[in-house]
Amino acid sequence: AQTVTQSQPEMSVQEAETVTLSCTYDTSESDYYLFWYKQPPSRQMILVIRQEAYKQQNATENRFSVNFQKAAKSFSLKISDSQLGDAAMYFCAYRSRFQGAQKLVFGQGTRLTINP
Amino acid sequence: SQTIHQWPATLVQPVGSPLSLECTVEGTSNPNLYWYRQAAGRGLQLLFYSVGIGQISSEVPQNLSASRPQDRQFILSSKKLLLSDSGFYLCAWRTLGLSYEQYFGPGTRLTVT
């Protein structure tokens, strides 16, 4: 079974600075998807960014980018120019590309605080 | 555009009482639907998913059940709630195709007293 580990329960960063959130995963599959979700105080899960394992190029969405290291099974999220609205819980998630697989496997989350 | 609704937003129920949480999706057809539970300070755990009307798969055996009476409606139920059923319940959807991400509803906070 696949597992996702986020080793940083909490992180903080000064507004306008850059922060990197770590995520590692364990799988025997070669083809899969990885995601970062954001959960603000409202608690609704919001998709931030996704990465297909077969793509070598790291995904980027505006101020959010990932560092995908497939061999190391590492998938970190970098937030540039941090804003107060980025404060939230961030969850890393894995999904098999296998046709019958359905669930997202989530890490335990990292709480990100933005200091003004 | 697609929209997902959940109600109620908050619910406080005594132990042993029944439960019914509803999720509806708008703007899409034949979505895959999911129920997740999030315990306090934890990640999400998949409870049930459905690929079509009347088709329910359970990921974790427990005190809960799910039903899908209509294409875009997904219901989470219990006949008798336990204290351990407390948590934040999230419904999610996904359309078939190349996109594998799931989109989540606003959630229901359930407290069993």
Name the minimum distance, in Å, from the CA of A10 to any CA of chain B.
11
Instruction: Please name the residues in contact with A20: beta carbons below 8 A apart, sequence gap of 6 or more.
Output: A67, A76, A77, A78, A79
In chain B, the percentage of residues whose pLDDT exceeds 70 is 96
Lowest-pLDDT choice from A56-60, A75-79, B92-96, B106-110: B92-96
Average pLDDT, chain A: 94
Contact B75, B69 (CB under 8 A): yes
* Amino acid letter, residue A104: L
Indicate whether A101 pLDDT > 80. no
Share of chain A above pLDDT 90, in %: 82
Q: How far apart are the first and last CA of chain B?
A: 38
> How many other C-beta atoms can be found within 10 angstroms of the C-beta atom of residue B84?
11
User: How close is the nearest chain B Cα to the Cα of A14, in Å?
Assistant: 24
Task: With beta carbons under 8 A apart, name residues in chain A contacting B44.
Answer: 45, 91, 104, 106
3-state secondary structure at position B32 = strand
Q: Say how many C-beta atoms besides its own lie within 10 A of residue A93's C-beta.
A: 25
What local confidence, expressed as pLDDT, does residue B60 receive?
81
For chain B, say whether A35 makes contact (Cβ under 8 Å): yes
Whether residue B80 has pLDDT greater than 90: yes
Q: Could you tell me which chain B residue has the CA closest to the CA of A94? A: B101
> Is residue B102 a contact partner of residue B1, using CB atoms and an 8 Å limit?
no
Q: Which two tokens stand for residue A6?
A: 């986020």
Q: Do B59 and A91 touch (CB under 8 A)?
A: no
Distance CA A83, CA A64 (A): 12
Question: Measured between alpha carbons, how far is B68 from B103 in angstroms, rounded to an integer?
Answer: 18
pLDDT of A44 strictly over 80: yes
- The shortest C-alpha distance from B44 to chain A (Å) reads 6
The chain A residue lying nearest B59, using CA atoms, is A103
3-state SS class at A79: strand
Contact status, residue A77 vs residue A90, Cβ threshold 8 Å:
yes
Q: Is B56 on the interface with A (CB under 8 A)?
A: no
Please tell me whether residue B9 adopts helix, strand or coil conformation.
Answer: coil
pLDDT value, residue A80:
98
Work out the number of other CB atoms within 10 angstroms of the CB of residue A19: 20
Counting Cα atoms < 13 Å in the Cβ hemisphere of B55 gives 10
Do residue B44 and residue A106 have CB atoms under 8 angstroms apart? yes
Place of tokens 């990885």: A34
- Chain B residues whose CB is inside 8 A of the A50 CB are 100-101
**pLDDT for res A99:** 67
Inter-chain CB proximity B49 and A47 less than 8 Å: no
Shortest CA gap A18–chain B (Å): 24
Phi-psi region of B54 (alpha: psi -120 to 50; beta: other; left: phi over 0): left
Whether B103 and chain A come into contact, CB under 8 Å, resolves to yes
Contact A33, A97 (CB under 8 A): yes
Cβ–Cβ pairs < 8 A, chains A and B: 50
CA-angle at A51, arms to B74 and A12, nearest 5°: 90
Q: Reduced to 3 states, what is the DSSP secondary structure of residue B84?
A: helix
